[in-house]
Structure formats: C-alpha cells, structure tokens
Chain A
Amino acid sequence: MRIEEHPILSFNKGKKVNFVFDGKTYEGCEGEPIAAALHAAGIMVLGHSHNKQRPRGFYCAIGNCSSCLMVVNGQPNVRVCTEKLQEGMVVETQVGKGDLK
C-alpha cells in the first residue's frame, strides 16, 4: 500500500515501471528499493531461510541485516531493501544459498 497523502512529506517517486516477481508482472516506481515495490504490492514474504525454510521479510531496510536476499536478473543474494528497481527487472524468490550461473 502506498501512502497517498501525508501531512508533512511529499514523495518524489520515479516513473512507473513494470517488473516481474516469480513469473507475475507488477508495477513499481523506478529507483525505489525492490523491497518497497514488493511491499507496496502486498508482498511481504521475500524468501525462505536456507536451513529451516522459515519465511523471511526484510528487517532493517537499510542494508544492515541481509534478511532480504533475493535473485535479481539471475543474480542471487541481492539485498532488495537497497537494490533499486528498474524497468523489466526479473525478481525471484531465492531457494537455498543461491547458485552462480
């Protein structure tokens, strides 16, 4: 959910772009973190932990905790809380520790 009006802030968002998450197309704003775009689309589960397969969302949102690792454009272990969204990005839930292709 996006915050449409705010008593103090105005948000200068980038232009609308499409990206693919696990095979489905979503809309986000260019330049915002991938995690923000996913969250705005109601997606809170970003992946699962390697050993116990626990669902994982982000925790710190500023690149400290690495709780939000995903596969972006084929590259695993991308921290999506800081990685910026671009048109046509392919974002996937990461299984395990990720494979280098």
Chain B
Amino acid sequence: MLEKTGVATEQDLQKAIPSKERLAKGPVAIIECFQRIPCNPCYTSCKKGAIKEFEDINDTPEINVEICNGCAVCVSNCPGLSIVVVDETYSEQEALVKIPYEFLPLPEEGSFVTGLDREGKAVCRAKVVKVLNTKAMDRTPIVSLAVPKDLSMTVRFMKLNDIYSDNTFVCRCEELTMGELRELIRKGFNTIDEIKRISRAGMGPCQGRTCRQLIMQELAAATGAKMSEMPISTFRPPVKPIKLGTIAGGADHE
C-alpha cells in the first residue's frame, strides 16, 4: 500500500501507464502522482496543453497521452519528482526512461549504471544515453537511460554503482567497455570478427593482444559457444605498428 510503504502498487500504476498502442507511438510522460495535494506545476509547465487544467489545485494530474509528445519539460518542473518519460520506440530491445536526477556526480553519457525499481532494488544494467542539464531545468537534470524494454515500467531511478562491471574496459586501444560489448552481442554481433568490425576492438595498436581473449570469454558466456570452436579473426601484417617510412624505405634495407 502506497500510504504505508511509499511504493506505488500495481493498482495505482494502472491509472498512470498508457496503452501499449500509445507506447508504440513514441515518448510519453508517465505521471506517478496518486495523492491529492495542493500542487499544479505539471499543468502550468506543459506547453503542449497535454495536462488538463486543475479545477481544484488538489486534483491529481490528468494527462492526455495523445497530445503529450514526451518533451519532458514537466519532469524537471514536478516538485515531487514523480514524472518520467518513457520511449519504447528507442530500439528493438530497449526503451528509454528519462528520470530526474538531482545528485552529484552526474553520470557520464555512454557509461553504464544500475537501473533501480520503485523500491531501490537493482533490476538491470542501464546505459546512460543522455544527460540534460540546462539552465531552464534549474538543477533538476534529466538522465536518459536505455533499459530492456520489458523493464520500461519498472526502472524509475539509477545508481552509479556498476554492479554488472559494465564500465570495465575490454579493449584498451579502442576503449570498448564490457557494457558496450554486451550491447553489441545482444544486437546479434556474435563472432569476434563481427565485434571487431563494428567496434574496432582488435584493430588498435595492440592488434587485439589485450582484448581478444576477453571478447571470446564474453561471447562464450553470452551465447554458450565453446571457445575452442570459435572462429578467430584474420591476422594481417604488420603485427605491430611500424613507421610507414620503414616500409616505404624497405628496398634500401633489402
């Protein structure tokens, strides 16, 4: 029960979550504000007119999801920080959840954080796609998290702790992190050669000496493939970086 625990119940949430059809159309604000309190900045901040005018300031907000375009202006204007924007059209497997985050340090774009549910339980790894912190947002930055689509209505906060070690570097030369590698594997890049071509891991100055083994291990863990049977990428000369001049002047040394 929300009043006892501070956590919205399924029943509460039914009122806030738009239809599958609406979610399939693009970003939309989800307002998890279920108690009558004197407060209306969501209505006054919405430039689209998607949030219905309050007859009584104690009314709970009513949103017309067909008008809402998910611009997220209300997210940083809500004194209760009770609004998120969810975009289920972000990618095939992932949804974007835009949350207000008033803490330091802010996460870095491109890094991986832990997605938390309404009770603060870790539920998934989440990639920080964007951190918006404009003057108009007045110190309530909005962090856009890419999360597995089936958790779009579960993830409501984040912590910087990287419990899945996603920010671990796999490839030092091309700076590929474990999280990025896992994302590529999820997208279907399932051999070391494919990973190499899409991410450049293995094409840097060390020529894959540091990352090859780690990428194979992760491929094995994710796909169940045996390392012994994994196709290996092609080794082309030179096996270490050398000056072009050395090759160009090669005849002199012959």
Which of A5, A6, A7, A8 has the most CB atoms of chain B within a 10 A radius of its CB? A7
Q: Contact string, B78-117, partner A, CB cutoff 8 A, digits 1/0?
A: 0000000000000000000000001111000000000000
Q: Which B residues are CB-close (under 8 A) to A7? A: 102-104, 139
Q: Which A residues are CB-close (under 8 A) to B103? A: 7
Return B32 CB to nearest CB of chain A, in Å.
22
Return A57 CB to nearest CB of chain B, in Å.
28
- Closest A residue to B105 using CB positions: A5
Beta-carbon contacts under 8 Å, B99-151 to A: 102-105, 139
Beta-carbon contacts under 8 Å, A1-46 to B: 5-8
State A8–B139 Cα separation when bound (angstroms). 6
State A77–B104 Cα separation when bound (angstroms). 40
- Closest A residue to B138 using CB positions: A8
State A8–B140 Cα separation when bound (angstroms). 9
State A21–B210 Cα separation when bound (angstroms). 56
Q: Which A residues are CB-close (under 8 A) to B102? A: 7-8
Return B139 CB to nearest CB of chain A, in Å.
5
Return A10 CB to nearest CB of chain B, in Å.
11
Q: Which positions in A face B, CB cutoff 8 Å?
A: 5-8
Q: Which positions in B face A, CB cutoff 8 Å?
A: 102-105, 139
A-B CB proximity, top 6 nearest: A7-B104, A7-B102, A8-B139, A5-B104, A7-B103, A7-B139
Listed by A's residue number, 9 A-B pairs whose Cβ atoms lie within 8 Å are: A5-B104, A5-B105, A6-B104, A7-B102, A7-B103, A7-B104, A7-B139, A8-B102, A8-B139
